[in-house]
Amino acid sequence: MIDGVKVFYREAGHAVCAVVLLLHGFPTSSHQYRNLIPLLADRYRVIAPRLPRIRTKAMPPDHKSFSYTFARMADVVEKLTRVVGADKYSLYVMDYGAPIGYRLALKHPNKVQSLIVQNGNAYDEGLKEFWDPIKAYWAENTPERRKALEKLLTLETTKFQYTDGMGDVARISPDNWIVDQALLNRSGNSDIQLDMFRDYGSNIPRLYP
């Protein structure tokens, strides 16, 4: 339990090995690393938490009783490293996991031994057309702007994140977007994701040049 929240994480490898911390993105969970973990486990101690931005029975009952922000996610992950005894670690970050990992690296540069970034933004120019409605929400926090983002939580958009740019979509297992969408569709999850969209703007002045 961390701050009253049960944090699920996947772990593999040997306790004496160097630690690799895997931080997933949106709309995924630690499930996205299911194939990578066994490839690393013979040389590293691998820890892949499910970031508490997915509504589960272990989470607070609604988005108003828990601060769903990137700063809070980083705080939870930092406390998890203490719980599991990871004094030093390498970070493998993807998408949403990137600004969370950047926060850890800035706060504890002596603990982060390396930083591997996959599809994680580090500059304002990286926020392309997909982000336009989210940027509009940052500029004007209204119910209309918030509701306009609900289309980003649909199966169509979830599948798009796996298939966009792929020549042969048949090579991608539909399990990926089906599992992600099942998590997104849980009761109360929509508001959590919309809160995270809103808070992503906090990363721009703090982390991105």
**DSSP per residue, 26-74:** SS--GGGGTTHHHHHTTTSEEEEE--TTS--TTS-SSTTSS--SHHHHH
Q: Report the candidate in 30, 69, 68 with the shortest Cα–Cα distance to residue 49.
A: 30
pLDDT tens column, 16-50: 999 999 999 999 999 999 999 999 999 999 999 99
Does the pLDDT at position 58 exceed 60? no
Distance of alpha carbon 195 from alpha carbon 35, whole angstroms: 30
- For the chain, the domains span 9-207
Tokens 């949403």 sit on residue: 96
pLDDT band at 144 (very low <50, low <70, confident <90, very high): very high
Q: pTM of the full predicted structure?
A: 0.91
For domain 9-207, the CATH architecture is: 3-Layer(aba) Sandwich (3.40)
- Statement: residue 133 has pLDDT above 60: yes
Residues near 18 by Cβ (< 8 Å), separated by ≥ 6? 44, 45, 88, 89, 90, 113
